[in-house]
Chains A and B, each alone.
Chain A
Amino acid sequence: MDPVVVGILRATLAFVFAQAALHKLRDHAAFDTIVRGHRLVPDASAPAVTGLLLVGELAAALALLAPGAARLGGGLALTLLTVYSLAIGTNLARGRRDVDCGCLGPGHRQPLTGWLLVRNGLLAALAAACLIPASPRTVSWLDVVSVFAGALVLILVQSAATRLAGMGFRTLAARRSA
């Protein structure tokens, strides 16, 4: 695949995971609550699970940015997204929609919807594309512009899409928890 395309995908995914990791770093306790809310692991192990996810996200973001570690980063990202999708899918199958997804960070309660699965699927497709090695060619300054601008646009559009996916119930849930 062309290095520009791979560059855009890697930069976008790195940003998404770095942001997620930053949210967990800033408010570890809130994410413990979110992990417990999914009712998939024993309550006592929630802090450990949050820590594990945090480390995984940081590692994925760094590996995606590091030259030569694209496959490792893509693989980590794919694994994390699969875990999240399974967690969301299980709760949706149980009919528990009023679970905070934690996708937007703490303070933005977002209920689970099928849209989140679609979003994760798209992100997973991006991660899978990172596994394809970039074809070698000389990279000019214009390619660098393309990578930065392309990644910026993808990041903005995905944050807008995530916001739209959780709209509707969000405000009510936030008020209820207040």
Chain B
Amino acid sequence: MSEALVVSHLVLWALVVVLALVVVALTRQIGLLHERIAPVGALALRRGPQVGEATPEMWLPDLSGRRVRVGGADALARRTLIFFLSPSCPVCKTLLPTLERVLAEQSGGVRLVYASDGPSDDHRAFVRERGLDETEYVLSESLGLHFAVSKLPYAVLLDPAGVIRAIGIVNTREHLESLFEADRLGVASLQEYLGGLEVELATRSTDAADRASAASGGRS
């Protein structure tokens, strides 16, 4: 009996030590994952206003022609997410439900403004079909020009004072979340985060993509 206890005691210790080693290995692995899945800012293009610049107060027409404020200080001290989209852009449509979920996770309230341009009839049908808030749906070419939006979907995150905290192309949930992550960590962009050689590569490929899209007719 006592021999059996001694053996079980030794076996159990051996197992516990092995388990502890596995736990350490797992935490190391999690650390590696944290390094690979970087909390990045969005992929910002090198044109237009950059992070840290203030956005002037603009009064722009919504779908029914009423003027809506974009930029400047928010009276309710909310952050503003301007989401550039178009009814003809498939990625924008798939991203809309995700957008709502991501915003719901943000603390402190975020005002969501949809921005687009073109004839308002298409947009009316789109807004009805998607159940969007039509009072926060801005139709303005000048807003897109102001932020130098060349690809859709594109998003700009403004702080309550109207200063740009993150800006860039958003294609996935990760990109959207990265805007808020960039705001939280104070990182301007993916490029700033990666640094060094990777910056070079990212800008080069972005520039190449820019040229390609310019050649094929610009805006999607």
List residues of A whose CB falls within 8 A of some B CB: 142, 145-146, 149-150, 152-153, 156-157, 159-160, 163-164, 167-172, 175, 178
Contact = CB atoms under 8 A, between A and B. Distances in A.
Interface string B171-214: 00000000000000101000001010000000000000000000
B13 A149 contact: yes
Interface residues of B, number: 24
Contact of B13 (A146, A156, A168, A172): A146
B27 A160 contact: yes
Contacts, number: 56
Interface of B: 6, 9-10, 13-14, 16-17, 20-21, 23-24, 26-28, 30-31, 34-35, 38-39, 185, 187, 193, 195
Nearest to A178: B195
Contacts of B39: 168, 172
Contacts of B195: 175, 178
Contacts of B35: 171
Nearest to A167: B34
Given A159-B24, A164-B30, A153 B185 contact: no
A111 to B, nearest CB: 11
A175 B23 CA distance: 26
A153 B193 contact: no
Nearest to B23: A160
A95 B27 CA distance: 27
B9 A142 contact: yes
A10 to B, nearest CB: 18
Contacts of B27: 160, 163-164, 167
Nearest to B12: A149
Contacts of B14: 149
